[in-house]
Structure 1
Amino acid sequence: MDDDLRIERVSITHPDAAFLVEAVQEEYVARYGGRDDSPIDRRDFDDPLGTFFVGYLDGRPVATGAWRRSSVKALGAQVTAEVKRMYVVPAAQRRGLARRMLAHLETTAAAEGIEALVLETGMKQPEAIELYLSSGYEPIPGFGYYADSDLSRCFGRLLRTTDL
C-alpha cells in the first residue's frame, strides 16, 4: 500500500463510510467496553450542516473523518463545527493519514465559514490526544453528550481562514 491518500466526500450512509464507522465502533468496544452511543443524525453530515469524508489507499477505504456544525462556543469563535468519526484502519496507521484527514477537515470547514473546530475524544485514545495537541488543538471545557464523563477530553482549534 502506498501513502497516496485520496479523500472523497461521501454520505455517512455510503457503504465505505458505514464500514469504517462500524470499525471505529468495534475499536470503542475494545477500548471502552461499549459502543459510542452519543446521538448522531445522519442529516448533520449533509449540506449545509456538515460533511463526511472517506480516505482511500489503492482504492480501499482506510480512513474517515467528518464535521458537523455545532452550537458550542469555544476559543472566542461564534461559528464552530465538531469533528466526528476520525479513524484510520490498523493496517494503515502510523503513516500520517489521520493528520492529513484532520487537515482536510480544517480546510473544508474554513471554506464554509467555520471559525473553529471542536472535538471530544477519550482518555483511552492517547494517540488521538497526541494528534490533536500536536496539530494545534487546545483543551476546552467539556461539551455535549460526554461533557461530564471522566474519560472524555475536549479540544478546540481556531481556523485561520486567511491561510486558505
Structure 2
Amino acid sequence: MIKVVRSNSENKDFLFLVKQLDAYLKTTDGDEHEFYNQFNSINVLKHVVIAYLDGKPSTCGAFKRFNENSVEIKRMFTTPETRGNGIATQVLNELENWAMELDYSSCVLETGVRQTEAIEFYKKNLYKITPNYGQYTNVENSMCFEKKIKNETRK
C-alpha cells in the first residue's frame, strides 16, 4: 500500500531519504558534487512530499519558490528497491498539485546529464527541456526542464 503525505524538511523520513540521495549523487556527480550540493540545502523547504510503501519511506520530493509564477522541484529520490512502481510519479504529481493550489503555473528543475533515469522520468511526466537557468547556465553537465501546470499566471 502506498501512502503519500505532505510535510516539510524537518520530517525525519525526508532526512533519511535525502541522506541516501546525497550518497548516490556523490558517486554520480564525482568531482562536481560540491558545486551541485551548494544548491540543495533542505533547511528551509516548506513543501515536501514523502511516499511510504507498506509503511516504509520510499520516495521524496520537494519544491521551493523559483519566481512569481514557478516553483523549482528539488530532492526527488526513490530508494533503489522501490523503483519502477510509479511511486515517484505520484510524489511528483502531488508536488505539482500543491504548487497549483498555491497558484503557481509552472515547475522548473535541474538534473545532471549523467542522471539518465531522472531525465527519462521527467520526460515521461511531460517536462520539456529548456535552456539552463540561473546558476546552471553554461554548466555542461546540467539539464533543465519545465512543465506548465496551469494556464493562468499569478495575480
Same fold, TM exceeding 0.5?
yes
How big is the alpha-carbon RMSD for the aligned residues of Structure 1 and Structure 2?
1.7
Shift of 1:148: 2.3
User: 4+ residue runs of structure 1 moved beyond 3 angstroms?
Assistant: none
> Structure 1: which amino acid aligns with 2:43?
R
1:10 corresponds in structure 2 to 7
Task: Select the residue among 25, 28, 43 that pairs with 1:28.
Answer: 25
1:38 corresponds in structure 2 to 38
2:75 corresponds in structure 1 to 85
- Structure 1 unaligned segments of length 5 or more: list them: 72-77
Mapped to 2, the partners of 1:30 and 1:116 lie a distance apart of 30
1:120 match: secondary structure: strand
Mapped to 2, the partners of 1:145 and 1:20 lie a distance apart of 25
Mapped to 2, the partners of 1:139 and 1:96 lie a distance apart of 22
Written as runs of structure 1 = structure 2, the 5 A alignment for 1:26-105 is 26-33=23-30, 34=33, 36-39=36-39, 40=41, 42-43=43-44, 45-46=45-46, 51-71=47-67, 79-105=69-95
Mapped to 2, the partners of 1:139 and 1:30 lie a distance apart of 24
Which range moves more in the overlay, 84-93 or 97-106? 97-106
How many equivalent pairs are there? 148
1:42 match: secondary structure: coil
Mapped to 2, the partners of 1:156 and 1:56 lie a distance apart of 27
Q: In 2, are the aligned partners of 1:38 and 1:145 still within 8 Å (CA)?
A: no
In structure 2, the CA distance between the partners of 1:41 and 1:60, relative to structure 1 (3 Å rule), is: closer
1:45-100 Cα offsets, whole Å, 9 max, x none, are: 22xxxx011111111111001111112xxxxxx50000001100001001111111
- Structure 2 unaligned segments of length 5 or more: list them: none
Mapped to 2, the partners of 1:134 and 1:59 lie a distance apart of 27
Q: TM-score by structure 2 length?
A: 0.88
